Amino acid sequence: MERSHREDQKRFYSVHSFFSLADFHKQPAVHNHSSNNLPMRPLAWLSPLEFLVQFV
């Protein structure tokens, strides 16, 4: 969990500004959509969505 939070800090929170609470809810949703398509070493270089498909 800590590693994931550190990556989120580098890729998202450090480079985004939030202008309202509604904006804060919208921006992470957009980020998560693209982030879930990135390959990850702990998942054998599959994206989280590709990894999930294996179990569905």
Q: What is the pLDDT along the chain (56 residues), one digit of tens a residue?
A: 445 777 777 777 777 788 898 888 888 888 888 888 889 888 899 998 999 999 88
C-alpha closest to that of 16 among 32, 3, 27, 29: 27
Q: Two tokens at 21?
A: 């609470």
Report how far Cα 47 is from the mean position of its chain's Cα atoms: 11
In the prediction, which pLDDT does 45 show? Answer: 94
Distance, first Cα to last Cα, the chain: 23
In the prediction, which pLDDT does 3 show? Answer: 58
The model carries a pTM of: 0.57
Q: Two tokens at 46?
A: 């599959």
Helix (H), strand (E) at residue 53: helix 48-53
